[in-house]
Each structure stands twice: as C-alpha cells, then as structure tokens.
Amino acid sequence: MSAGWYPLALADGIEPGTSAGTQLFGKELVVWRDAGGAAHVWEDRCPHRGMRLSFGFVRGDRIACLYHGWQFDGAGQCRAIPAHPHLDVPETIKVATYRVAERAGVIWAADAHTEAPEPAARDALTPIRSLYVDRPVAAVRAALAGAGFPGADGAPLPFAGDAGGLLAFGAPEPVLFAALQPFAAGRTALHILAVGAPAAEDRVALAGAAEVLRRALEGASALAEAAA
Amino acid sequence: MSLVLYDYALDENCYKVRLLLSILGVPHETVAIDMFPGSEHRGPAFLALNPRGTLPALFADGLLLTGAEAILAYLAERFDESGTWLPADPAAFGAVLSWLHFAVDELSAAARARAHAMTDAPADEAAVVAAARAALRLMDDHMTKREFSGGRFFVGETPTIADLALFPAFALSRDYGIDHDEFPALRRWIRRVRAVSGFLTMPGIPDYH
C-alpha cells in the first residue's frame, strides 16, 4: 500500500457489530466495527486457512472467522480457537492491521507505520452513498475535475478543489464532497457526502445523481474502448 | 389440508419457498428431488407430476403450483394472516409484483451464473455474471435510497415476499464470484432479512454460530 490515508467506507454504513470486505489497490481488506463502536481495518485473511474475515461475524470486541471460529481481538491478536478451547493461543497468530481514522464521515486507513498526517476533521456532513465504478481512479478524478458532479436538478455542481483528500463540488460554497478509493485496477469507489443536513428527498436526488455519474463514467469508457 | 413441496436443497428457488413456509409456520411435506447430478426433475416420474420439469413445485390440496414467485404469492395469500407479506394496498401490491418480475427476469442471470459455477450448467459465464452484477446494482441503488427515509426492506415498512424472492441471489453471490464489497446497502438489508423470525439458512448461507 502506498503512503498516505485512503477512504474505505462511509462511517455510517458500517454498523456496530458488523463487518464489510473491500479492496485497496486490489488488496482485500476487512472493515469492521466492534460492539463498542470502534472501527478496525485489517488484511482480510484469517491466518489459519486464508478465509476472508469479512465473511465472518463480530461478537463483542472480537471478529470470528466463518470457517473454524477463530476469534481475534481489536489488535488483530488471535484469542480463541474453538477446536482447542484450553490452548493458550500463541502471540504469533495475528492478523496484519492498519491504522484507522474516522474523519468527515468516512473511515480512512493507512499503513500501520505511516507518518502521513491523519485526514482533516470536518463537521456537519450527511452521508449520501458509496458508488462503485468500473473506471481507474485517475480517470474518475479527471472526469470530476473537468465536468463536476451531476446536480440533483440537472445543473452540474462545479469542481471546487481537493480539500484534505475530499474533492469538493458546488459554488460559491461546496455542497458535496467525494473521497476516492483506489479499489482495484480499473475500479474506483467514491464515498459521497453532502454538506449540512439535507432532507430525505434531497438525499434521494443526490443518490440518483450519483447513478447518473456512474453511467456517464462507465459509458464514456465503453465509448472510448469502442472507438479505440 | 395437504401441502407437498418438491424440493432440491441447493436450489435457490426452492429455498425461497422453504423460507416463507418456515416464516409463516405452515405445516407441509417435503419430497427431495435429485436435481444435480441426478436430473430427476427431467425424469419421467417427475414430469408426470409437473410437465414443466421445474423446481420448486408445490401441490396444494392437489393443485399444482410452479415457479417460486407464484408459489410465494399463493402461500402469502392463503396463510399470511397479517396480510403484510403480500400487501393488498394497490401501490405496495404493485411494487411487490414489480420486484417479483425483476427476480424472474433480470435477476435470473444470478441463478444461471450460480448453476454454471456449481454444476457446470451451460452459460456464457462472463455475460451472466455481468448481467447478475447489473441487477444487483439496481437493487443496491434502490435500497440506498430507501434507507434515507428509514426503509428497511424493498417495499413498505415490513418484509414482503419481494425480499424473499430477491434474497438468495445476493446472499449466494459468492457462489458465482461476486463479492458483497460493492453493495453496502444490500449487505445491511440481508442482515435484516436474516433477523426475520423463522428465517432458515441453506448451504452457502451460513449460520453465525
């Protein structure tokens, strides 16, 4: 993983006691939230048989693998192996973990030894949705910087710069932010948030605008490939 | 009353019917049909019962019903005293039927992709997986927007047979190579379906022990 912090999910979307799989540069990660509300980002592999931990289940402050129930605490340390209930689990059975920050309504992760500053805090944002697009992150960024974000009412929200890892849209003041996750080769996730507290129908309209954006991005790619 | 379900444990359409029978607590008999590898549903004995050669098939007091979505509607109409699984309100009724149609139309690509992955049934693998993914995106888009006003299920305030008709294609998507990563609203939705009283698992849909 490259240096720096990367957005992986909308914070609201990962409920306490649940887990989700995702990818960063094609590497599989698990994002999970323990019962106490703390978010964790790990390599998505049980050290036992390589099963994705995101297929498993959260119990209290641990996540358990679906295959054989091995349980890992918040530090990635294996704490229980059901087939060997009396075993004092060796310290070496551990999952690789990442640093986590919840800022601006987004769960961000960085390499455990990163020296990059944590993403900036930003208040009063309302989550709209995560949008998964079959386009490389550079192409998504270029398209957004050029054409802005489709507006809920048809008029595009102009690109207003990159503010601490969040692309801003709208003038004179930003009304929408998007954090771009380099998901895998040719695939990008956009975590989209609105400024303030829009009503449900306005959030629906913005989510619809995101669908328009996905069609535009992927349609443009299909046209480009057909022309090539 | 006599209800006999002709069933194959690994078939997601049979699973939809098993789910509703369990949720509604309807007593019934089950006859296991060896769909794979035996192709018993294409054999003379089963074709004599159901000339379509399809599963699930339900005999309700001698009446043959075929097609999971039709069976769900029949069971809801006959046994759901709450009236919530197939709501009578025209808007909700129409919305439920629209999703049932989606389940047998666009979303059938998921069943074909899974049959291809698990039993080598003939299919253009890339095409059916892409079509299944497109259908799952439509479902995720829908549930994303539902959640803004507190919607927890596909139609209305409580689960309907639309949720059951749509559930297996996503819950079993890893069987045909589609991860849940790209569908956050569906990931939350299947947790709600799993919490419905009377919910059953099937192979590929694990119990969280």
Interchain CB contact of A132 with B (< 8 Å) = yes
Q: Which residues of A touch B209 (CB under 8 A)?
A: 69
Identify whether the C-beta of residue A129 lies closer than 8 Å to the C-beta of residue A192: yes
Q: Which residues of B touch A186 (CB under 8 A)?
A: none
Structural domains of chain A in order of their starting residue, each with its CATH number? 6-110 (2.102.10.10), 125-227 (3.30.310)
Single out the residue in B79, B107, B125 at which a domain terminates.
B79
CATH number, domain containing residue B149: 1.20.1050.10
pLDDT (tens digit per residue) in B73-98: 999 999 999 999 999 999 999 999 99
Single out the residue in B79, B99, B132 at which a domain terminates.
B79
How does strand B3-7 pair with strand B29-32?
Answer: parallel
Q: How far is A100 from A10, CA to CA, in rounded Å?
A: 13
Q: Which residues of B touch A200 (CB under 8 A)?
A: 148-149
> Residue B179 and residue A21: Cβ atoms within 8 Å?
yes
Task: Please name the residue ranges forming H helices in chain A.
Answer: 137-147, 200-227
Q: Give A202→chain B minimum CA distance, Å.
A: 9
Q: How far is A205 from A153, CA to CA, in rounded Å?
A: 8
As a whole number, the mean pLDDT across chain A is 93
Cβ within 8 Å of residue A111, ≥6 positions away: A1, A3, A98, A99
Q: Does A190 have pLDDT greater than 60?
A: yes
pLDDT (tens digit per residue) in A133-173: 999 999 999 999 999 999 877 789 999 999 878 999 999 99
How does strand A18-24 pair with strand A125-133?
Answer: unpaired
ipTM of the complex: 0.94
Residue B83 dihedral angles phi and psi, to the nearest 5°: 70, 15
Interchain CB contact of A69 with B (< 8 Å) = yes
User: Same domain for B72 and B19?
Assistant: yes
Band of residue B1 on the pLDDT scale cut at 50, 70, 90: confident
Q: How far is B118 from B203, CA to CA, in rounded Å?
A: 12
Band of residue B149 on the pLDDT scale cut at 50, 70, 90: very high
- Measure CB to CB from residue A207 to each of B145, B174, B179 and give the nearest one: B145
Q: Say which range, A48-52, A104-108, A203-207, has the weakest mean pLDDT.
A: A48-52
Identify whether the C-beta of residue B136 lies closer than 8 Å to the C-beta of residue B183: yes
Interchain CB contact of A10 with B (< 8 Å) = yes
Summary count for chain B: helices (H), strands (E): 8, 4
User: Same domain for B38 and B114?
Assistant: no
Q: Which residues of A touch B145 (CB under 8 A)?
A: 203-204, 207-208
User: Same domain for B68 and B139?
Assistant: no
Q: How far is B11 from B34, CA to CA, in rounded Å?
A: 11
Single out the residue in B54, B79, B104 at which a domain terminates.
B79
User: Same domain for B51 and B112?
Assistant: no
User: Same domain for B131 and B182?
Assistant: yes
Crossing angle of the two packed helices B108-119 and B12-24, in degrees rounded to 10 = 120
pLDDT (tens digit per residue) in A31-61: 999 999 999 999 999 999 999 999 999 999 9
What is the domain extent for residue B100? 90-194
Number of domains in chain B: 2
Would you say residue B200 lies in a domain?
Answer: no
Would you say residue B146 lies in a domain?
Answer: yes
Q: Which residues of B touch A9 (CB under 8 A)?
A: 184
> Residue A23 and residue B185: Cβ atoms within 8 Å?
no
